[in-house]
């Protein structure tokens, strides 16, 4: 774990150039790496030596940026993936396979919900979804003997529910399984789930980490604390020999600190190839250098806009965890004392139709299937990102038909409020 403060890690983490070496992270745009003897390369293939042989599995630029994210989250090992979807798929599939079961919080991102409830279900993995504020007995009842993980989002996209990380971590650990937390919206600037008992953290780096809408990407970080051998019967993939790697037992060879990420790299990256390009990793690295500055500004602007929306009687409701009357305000104070994120949701009086007209009246705020960009953008989830869901699923995900998701950028807050005002004036 890094002893430097998080702002310094954003700027300088992950990469320490030697004498005369490039100041900026070098882009190693090479698929392959040259060796003097076949024997040397064989050691890499057997995971007996560290080094690079093929960029589908590992690349020095991607690893440098993963190291920075690892330091930011306070983990022991990390890897980049080609998208947030790939990160969440890998994080779960690394420990759950056909015949297994996972408990997930129901307000998670629509893309993740679909990945779990439809695609991974086809692979034979069952999911039980529980509300973020479910009762203790509902949470207990969700577990089965074949449960392998618990999954939630620090701040759900776009429902904006705050996960009671400690509560879900305790429940997971009582049942001998890890808690996986998607920390995309909070970022390690506003919350570090490992500080509250989470075991694995995932990210869609496409959002605040990149921050400029330039590269799709994901990351997985391991806290390095989960004792796979203490629950060896549940996690044979980590605690018994891998025949596809000459009988390596990951948890034995790489310990609690490295087993999860090494297995995900050696097996899943090898077989699925969801690897980011070195250039995308470089763009992500540039974004990370200003993450701490941008996140604070995103939150400041979102608070200003939310407070304005509360005063405008053409708005039917405003949902933002930082607001005092929000259902999750207490959780927000505990887990996100410096602010939650730049995303607000609200309803325009007049329902679905008024919401769509309001959006097309906006000039500065662009209609996009995106959030967490330096530029303010907005979306109507019921007709776009969440359109695969039926009404009951929408409700479970906390998405009402009139919900507008506004992702406040880092522009001037008064300009954003001015744009919203004129769009309402012209309804």
Instruction: Please report, as ranges, the residues that interact with ligand PLP according to CB under 6 A.
Output: 83-85, 88, 109, 111-112, 153, 157, 182, 184-185, 204, 206-207, 216, 218
Q: Please, what is the minimum distance in Å from the beta carbon of residue 86 to ligand PLP?
A: 7
Beta-bridge partners for 101? 126, 147
Which residue reads 């900026």 in tokens? 24
Tokens found for residue 108:
């998670």
> Shortest distance, CB of residue 409 to ligand PLP, whole angstroms?
16
Give 116 or 346: the residue with its C-beta nearer to ligand PLP. Answer: 116
- Burial of residue 39 (number of CB atoms within 10 Å: 0-12, 13-18, 19+): exposed
Give the distance from CA 383 to its chain's centroid.
Answer: 23
Which residue, 57 or 209, is less far from ligand PLP as judged by CB?
A: 209
Report the Cα 214 to chain-centroid distance in Å.
17
Q: Rounded to the nearest whole angstrom, what is the least distance from the CB of residue 361 to ligand PLP in the complex?
A: 26
CA neighbor of 216 nearest in space, from 203, 227, 226, 206: 206
Q: Shortest gap between Cβ of 116 and ligand PLP (angstroms)?
A: 11
What sign does the dihedral 238-240-246-251 (CA atoms) show? positive
Q: Is residue 107 classed as helix, strand or coil in its secondary structure?
A: coil
Residue with Cβ nearer ligand PLP (129 or 185): 185
* Closer residue to ligand PLP, CB minimum distance, 237 or 409: 409
Assign 351 to helix, strand or coil: helix
In the complex, what is the shortest distance from the CB of residue 343 to ligand PLP, in angstroms, rounded to a whole number? Answer: 9
Q: Which is nearer to ligand PLP, 64 or 206 (CB)?
A: 206
Q: State the nearest-atom distance from the C-beta of 83 to ligand PLP, in Å.
A: 3
Structure tokens at 418: 């001015």
Contact yes or no for 47/253 (Cβ under 8 A): yes
Minimum gap (Å) between residue 84 Cβ and ligand PLP: 2
318 beta partners: 346
Buried b (16+ CB within 10 A) or exposed e, 257-291: ebbbbbbbbbbbbeebebbbbbebbbbbbbbbbbb
206 vs 280 by CB, closer to ligand PLP: 206
* Nearer CB in complex with ligand PLP: 82/326: 82
CB of 154 to ligand PLP, least distance (A): 9
Nearer to ligand PLP, 72 or 259 (CB): 72
CB of 282 to ligand PLP, least distance (A): 17
Residues whose CB is less than 8 angstroms from the CB of residue 112 and which lie 6 or more positions away in sequence, other chains included: 85, 88, 151, 153, 182
Q: For 71, which DSSP code?
A: H
C-beta of 185 vs 346, nearer to ligand PLP? 185
Question: What is the closest distance, in whole angstroms, from the C-beta atom of residue 113 to ligand PLP in the complex?
Answer: 10
| Minimum CB distance to ligand PLP smaller for 205 or for 265 | 205
| Peptide bond between residue 158 and the one before it cis (omega within 30 degrees of 0) | yes
Q: 131 φ, ψ to 5°? A: -65, 150
347-363 residues labelled b (16+ CB within 10 A) or e (exposed): bbbeeeebbbebbebbe
Nearest residue (beta carbon) to ligand PLP: 84
Q: Is residue 264 a contact partner of residue 305, using CB atoms and an 8 Å limit?
A: no
Q: How far is CA 248 from CA 45, 262, 267, in A?
A: 12, 11, 12
Q: Using an 8 Å Cβ cutoff, are 340 and 155 in contact?
A: yes
């Amino acid at each position: 774990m890094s002893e430097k403060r998080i702002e310094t890690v954003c700027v300088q983490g992950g990469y320490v150039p030697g004498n005369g070496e490039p100041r900026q992270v070098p882009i190693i745009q090479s698929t392959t790496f040259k060796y003097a003897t076949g024997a040397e390369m064989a050691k890499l293939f057997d995971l007996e030596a560290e080094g690079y042989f093929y960029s589908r599995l590992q690349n020095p630029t991607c690893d440098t940026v993963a190291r920075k994210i690892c330091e930011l989250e306070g983990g022991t090992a990390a890897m980049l993936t080609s998208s947030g979807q790939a990160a969440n798929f890998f994080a779960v599939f690394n420990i759950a396979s056909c015949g297994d079961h996972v408990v997930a919080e129901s307000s998670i991102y629509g893309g993740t919900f679909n990945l779990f409830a439809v695609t991974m279900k086809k692979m034979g993995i069952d999911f039980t979804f529980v509300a973020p504020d479910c009762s203790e007995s509902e949470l207990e009842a969700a577990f089965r003997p074949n449960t392998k993980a618990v999954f939630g989002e620090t701040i759900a996209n776009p429902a904006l529910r705050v996960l009671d990380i400690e509560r879900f971590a305790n429940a997971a650990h009582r049942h001998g399984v890890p808690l996986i937390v998607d920390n995309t919206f909070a970022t390690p600037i506003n919350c570090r789930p490992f500080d509250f008992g989470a075991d694995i953290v995932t990210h869609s780096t496409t959002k605040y980490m990149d921050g400029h809408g330039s590269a799709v990407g994901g990351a997985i970080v391991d806290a390095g604390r989960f004792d796979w051998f203490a629950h060896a019967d549940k996690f044979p993939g980590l605690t018994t020999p891998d025949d596809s790697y000459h009988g390596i037992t990951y948890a034995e060879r790489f310990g609690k600190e490295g087993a999860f990420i090494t297995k995900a790299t050696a097996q899943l990256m090898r077989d699925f190839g969801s690897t980011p390009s070195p250039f995308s990793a470089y763009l992500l690295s540039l974004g990370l250098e200003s993450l701490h500055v941008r996140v604070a500004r995103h939150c400041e602007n979102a608070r200003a806009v939310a407070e304005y929306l509360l005063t405008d009687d053409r708005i039917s409701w405003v949902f933002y965890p930082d607001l005092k009357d929000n259902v999750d305000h207490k959780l927000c104070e505990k887990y996100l004392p410096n602010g939650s994120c730049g995303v607000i949701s609200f309803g325009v009086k007049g329902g679905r139709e008024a919401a769509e007209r309001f959006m097309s009246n906006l000039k500065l705020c662009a209609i996009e299937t995106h959030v967490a960009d330096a530029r303010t953008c907005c979306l109507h989830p019921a007709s776009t990102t969440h359109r695969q869901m039926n009404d009951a699923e929408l409700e479970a995900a906390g998405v009402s038909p009139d919900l507008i998701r506004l992702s406040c950028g880092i522009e001037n807050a008064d300009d954003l409020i001015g744009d919203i005002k004129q769009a309402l004036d012209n309804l």
